[in-house]
Amino acid sequence: MLEIPVIRWGKEYQSMGKTAVVHFETGETLAQVNEANGGLIKMDMRKAKKAREVLRQFSIQELVDKVAAAGELFENATLPLGNGEQSPDDFCRIQSATTGLPEHMCKFNMTKNAFVMKNMGDILDALTRGLPYDILSNGYGQEGRGVMVSYQANCNASGWVLPSNSPGVHTLWLPVIPLQIGLVMKPGKSEPWTPYRIYEAMAQAGIPREAFCLYPGAGDSGAELGGAVLESCERSVIFGGQATVEKYEGNPRISAHGPGFSKIILGDDVVDDWEKYLDLMVDSVYLNSGRSCISCSGIWASRHTEEIADAMAQRLGPIVPLPMSDPNAGLAAFTMAGAAKAMNGQIDGGCDSGAVTEVTAKYRDGDRFIEQERCDFLRPTVLHVSDPDDAMANTEFMFPFCSVVECPQDQMIRKIGYTLVGTCLTKDENFSRQLLDATNIDRLNIGEVKTLQLNWLQPHEGNIIDFLYRARAFQNSPPPAH
Residues in contact with another protein by the rule CB under 8 A: 15-17, 35-40, 42-43, 46, 220, 231, 247, 251
Task: Please state the closest distance from residue 35 (CB atom) to another protein, in A.
Answer: 7
**Nearest CB to another protein, comparing residues 164 and 221:** 221
**Nearest CB to another protein, comparing residues 45 and 316:** 45
Task: Please state the closest distance from residue 476 (CB atom) to another protein, in A.
Answer: 33
**Nearest CB to another protein, comparing residues 40 and 270:** 40
**Nearest CB to another protein, comparing residues 4 and 319:** 4
Q: Which residues pair with 256 in a beta bridge?
A: 238
**Nearest CB to another protein, comparing residues 74 and 215:** 215
CA distance 422 to 185: 29
**Nearest CB to another protein, comparing residues 35 and 210:** 35
**Nearest CB to another protein, comparing residues 16 and 473:** 16
Task: Please state the closest distance from residue 149 (CB atom) to another protein, in A.
Answer: 33
Task: Please state the closest distance from residue 44 (CB atom) to another protein, in A.
Answer: 10
**Nearest CB to another protein, comparing residues 9 and 151:** 9
Task: Please state the closest distance from residue 184 (CB atom) to another protein, in A.
Answer: 17
* Nearest by Cα to 298 from 412, 165, 168, 427: 412
**Nearest CB to another protein, comparing residues 157 and 331:** 157
Task: Please state the closest distance from residue 224 (CB atom) to another protein, in A.
Answer: 9
Task: Please state the closest distance from residue 78 (CB atom) to another protein, in A.
Answer: 31
Task: Please state the closest distance from residue 215 (CB atom) to another protein, in A.
Answer: 12
Task: Please state the closest distance from residue 249 (CB atom) to another protein, in A.
Answer: 11
Task: Please state the closest distance from residue 17 (CB atom) to another protein, in A.
Answer: 4
**Nearest CB to another protein, comparing residues 204 and 244:** 244
Q: Answer whether 114's CB lies under 8 Å from 37's CB.
A: no
CA distance 36 to 13: 8
* Nearest by Cα to 422 from 266, 274, 242, 256: 266
R_g of the chain, CA atoms, integer Å: 23
Task: Please state the closest distance from residue 158 (CB atom) to another protein, in A.
Answer: 19
**Nearest CB to another protein, comparing residues 38 and 259:** 38
* Cβ neighbours of 365 (radius 10 Å): 8
